Amino acid sequence: MSSAINQPEPSPLVACTISRDVTTFDLLIEDMEAAVGEAWGDLGFPEALAFLRQLDAEMLEFIAIAIDDEDEDRLPIIGDIIELAGQLGIKVILIADDVSPTALHTLLRQGADEFVPYPLPEGELQAAIDRLRQPAEPAAPSTNIAANAAGQKGALLAVHGLAGGTGATTLAVNLAWELASISKDKAPRVCVIDLGLQFGSVATCLDLPRREAVFEMWSDTETMDEDIFKQALVSYQDRLWVLTAPPEMLPLDMITSEDVNKVLDLACGHFDYVIVDMPATLVQWTEAVLTAAQIYFMTMEMDMRSAQNTLRLKRALQAEDLPVEKLRFCMNRAPKFTDLNGKARVKRMAESLEIGIELQLPDGGKAVSQGTDHGLPLANSAPKNPLRKEIAKLAASLHALGAASAAAV
């Protein structure tokens, strides 16, 4: 690494990292050295703008902007850097550690070319650089994850309630429906899997039958194959595929991690998005789902139950060394935007629990449970409902993220 600013002309630099402090991204330093040797510099955000405005910046091949959750208030300047790079024909790789989907979405829309999560998966920075170096191809036929169907697996998103009734199933079902209807002609293929083998209520929310084939599938996963899996699915309006809970209640420990992995693997092989509704209880196979998922949403409310369960859950996961960084805490029935007191309470709760609460879902009133009782997703029963709007936004940012990062997520 060399100091980009002091580089004598002509600059031998081909790349630059831009971050608040590159030493917080030590894996990036290693990977940059592996990728371009010494031919890269490192800049902070304000200097980066000044540097890019210099002529010799045009010689840069790419910049790697590394951000974490502390940088979310710097989005405007980061956006300016991305736009300026775009004008100069310099490619932008975004490296993000624990950044909210909304922030990522904004930056990707401003023109970042590639997205890689941090900690960097092995070889992923090099893969992103290789993709940048490929000559521009004609527009891909579709912008959804299916466009990367060259053996690409669908994204697995799980939803788990930190306490009963905190809206896990509502989020799972409506997120799935919003994703399935995100585009008229290029809609991604979406599947919901209800792993609430006892009280799972996805079938009720969409007014679908619970088929015996589901029970048969779970009771004999040894012989399960693609056909058996497909036969156990039912469709909602031919657009969303659902593996409901079985008709009879099953003990949660009747199935094993292996069974769950097999089903998730088949599902991700067939669908662009697989959304899993988890039972509130921690079971032996919770770990399997957490490990396989890209994002694990945990729904909660502003109450003692949710607060205490969060602490207990965090302790349980950390004791087992499980990937807690995949958790996305989601405050349901969150205070309104205008309720400043309420907002401050959410912030205090997050601080005292030492978690980030990245998603806040508003109270949608009676219309929400009424829609559920009629077996309809909110988009169909109450399209203007504030809860629906927020879930639609979430779907849009996840989808935008998926489109740009299918290879990396």
Ligand X SMILES: Nc1ncnc2c1ncn2[C@@H]1O[C@H](COP(=O)(O)OP(=O)(O)OP(=O)(O)O)[C@@H](O)[C@H]1O
Q: In the set 158, 168, 327, 382, which binds ligand X (CB under 6 A)?
A: 168
Closest to Mg ion by CB, 189 or 388: 388
Applying CB under 6 A, the site for ligand X has a residue count of 22
Q: Does residue 174 interact with Mg ion by CB under 5 A?
A: no
Least distance (Å) between residue 148 CB and ligand X:
31
* Residue of 64, 78, 330, 387 interacting with ligand X (CB under 6 A): 387
Nearer to ligand X, 103 or 361 (CB): 361
Q: Convert the chain into a string of H (helix), E (strand) and C (coil).
A: CEECCCCCCCCCCCEEEECCCHHHHHHHHHHHHHHHCCCEEEECHHHHHHHHHCHHHHHCCEEEEEEEHHHHHHHHHHHHHHHHHHHHCCEEEEEEECCCHHHHHHHHHCCCCEEEECCCCCCHHHHHHHHHHCCCCCCCCCCCHHHHCCCCCCEEEEEEECCCCCCHHHHHHHHHHHHHCCCCCCCCCEEEEECCCCCCCHHHHCCCCCCHHHHHHHHCCCCCCHHHHHHHCEEECCCEEEECCCCCCCCHHHCCHHHHHHHHHHHHHHCCEEEEECCCCCCCCHHHHHHHCCEEEEEECCCHHHHHHHHHHHHHHHHCCCCHHHEEEEEEEECCCCCHHHHHHHHHHHHHHCCCEEEEEECCCHHHHHHHHCCCCHHHHCCCCHHHHHHHHHHHHHHHHHHHHCCCC
Q: Which stretch binds ligand X (CB under 6 A): 78-86, 166-174, 254-262, 338-346?
A: 166-174
Q: Which does 167 bind (CB under 5 to 8 A by kind): Mg ion, ligand X, none?
A: ligand X
- Minimum separation from the CB atom of position 159 to ligand X (A): 8
According to the binding rule CB under 6 A, does residue 160 interact with ligand X?
A: no
Min dist. Cβ of residue 342 to ligand X (A)? 14
Is residue 363 a contact point for ligand X (CB under 6 A)? Answer: yes
Binding-site member from 166, 174, 306, 310 for ligand X (CB under 6 A): 166
Give the closest residue to 92 by CA, choosing from 147, 100, 84, 72.
84
CA–CA separation, 306 and 290 (whole Å): 19
Judge contact between 35 and 132, C-beta under 8 A: no
387 binds, among Mg ion, ligand X, none (CB under 5 to 8 A by kind): ligand X
Q: Determine, following the binding rule CB under 6 A, whether residue 169 of this chain makes contact with ligand X.
A: yes
333 lies in the binding site for ligand X (CB under 6 A): yes
Nearer to Mg ion, 62 or 285 (CB): 285
| Beta-carbon contacts of residue 375 (< 8 Å; ≥ 6 apart) | 204, 205, 206, 207, 208
Taking the least distance from each CB to ligand X, the nearer of 195 and 290 is 195
Q: Which partner in Mg ion, ligand X, none is near 41 (CB below 5 to 8 A by kind)?
A: none
- Which residues in 34-73 contact ligand X (CB under 6 A)? none
Shortest CB 247 distance to ligand X, Å: 18
369 binds ligand X (CB under 6 A): yes
Is residue 164 within the footprint of ligand X (CB under 6 A)?
yes
The residue range among 6-14, 62-70, 86-94, 164-172 that interacts with Mg ion, by the rule CB under 5 A, is 164-172
Relative to beta strand 155-161, strand 240-243 is: unpaired
Q: Does 357 bind ligand X (CB under 6 A)?
A: no
41, 161, 246, 335: which one contacts ligand X (CB under 6 A)?
161
Nearer to Mg ion, 169 or 181 (CB): 169
Contact flag: residue 308 with ligand X (CB under 6 A): no
Binding segment (CB under 6 A) for ligand X, from list 24-32, 86-94, 157-165, 229-237: 157-165
CB of 323 to Mg ion, least distance (A): 23
Question: Among residues 52, 94, 357, 368, which is the contact residue for ligand X, using CB under 6 A?
Answer: 368
Q: Work out whether 360 is an interface residue with ligand X (CB under 6 A).
A: no
Site for Mg ion contains 169 (CB under 5 A) = yes
Instruction: Please report, for residues 86, 193, 222, 330, 376, the alpha-carbon distance to residue 274 in angstroms, rounded to integers and kept in the order given.
Output: 34, 7, 22, 19, 19
* Beta carbons within 8 Å of 87's beta carbon, 6+ residues apart: none
User: Number of residues in contact with Mg ion, rule: CB under 5 A?
Assistant: 2
Site residues (vs ligand X, CB under 6 A): 161, 164-170, 199, 201, 280, 299, 332-333, 361, 363-365, 368-369, 372, 387
Contact positions toward Mg ion, by CB under 5 A? 168-169
